[in-house]
Amino acid sequence: MTASNLGSRITGYGFAVFTVGSIAWLSVGLMSGQHALVWTNVVLTVLNLFGIWRWLGRQAKIEEGAISAAEASGQSPGERLFPISLLSSAAVEDRNGNLLGTCIDAMAGCSSGKLRYVVASEGGVAGVG
């Protein structure tokens, strides 16, 4: 589920399944006195909770924002826009070549393909910026 690339919701639910598993193994470790199993699954539970937050929270909001912007562009005068997911993780630079951040999403015109907006993230560790 997490590697299928079927969208943020499916990936987030995959991390929820992983969380249930890591909590189950954590309880097995606690009941049997296996400290290595306990600590391994404490770390895995934290990582899985981060995955849930990232994919069901943050990434889902970004995707919903792109869909809302695409729908709003159909009702406004001018060219219709659509999200360009291929630009994700691309470097965003100013005209002088200075790095501004990383592209999260972008909007382009349906008929012209011209780029209209870029959503960028700056700083952070492991995708949290």
User: What's the pLDDT tens digit per position in 10-36?
Assistant: 888 899 999 999 999 999 999 999 999
Helix axes 59-75, 8-32, angle to 10 degrees: 170
| Closest by Cα among 17, 28, 98 to 55 | 17
What average pLDDT score do residues 63-91 get? 72
pLDDT of residue 79: 74
Query: For residue 126, is pLDDT > 60?
Result: no
Cβ atoms of residues 102 and 129 within 8 Å: yes
Ranges of H-type helices in 57-124: 59-75
3-state SS, residue 72? helix
What average pLDDT score do residues 64-78 get? 75
3-state SS, residue 109? strand
pLDDT of residue 111: 79
Distance in angstroms between the alpha carbons of the first and the last residue of the chain: 25
What does the block give as tokens for 78? 């001018």
Query: For residue 117, is pLDDT > 70?
Result: yes
Cβ atoms of residues 42 and 30 within 8 Å: no
Please indicate whether residue 129 or residue 49 has the higher confidence score (pLDDT): 49
> Dihedral (C-alpha) 67, 129, 121, 2: value to the nearest 10 degrees?
-50
Query: For residue 5, is pLDDT > 80?
Result: no
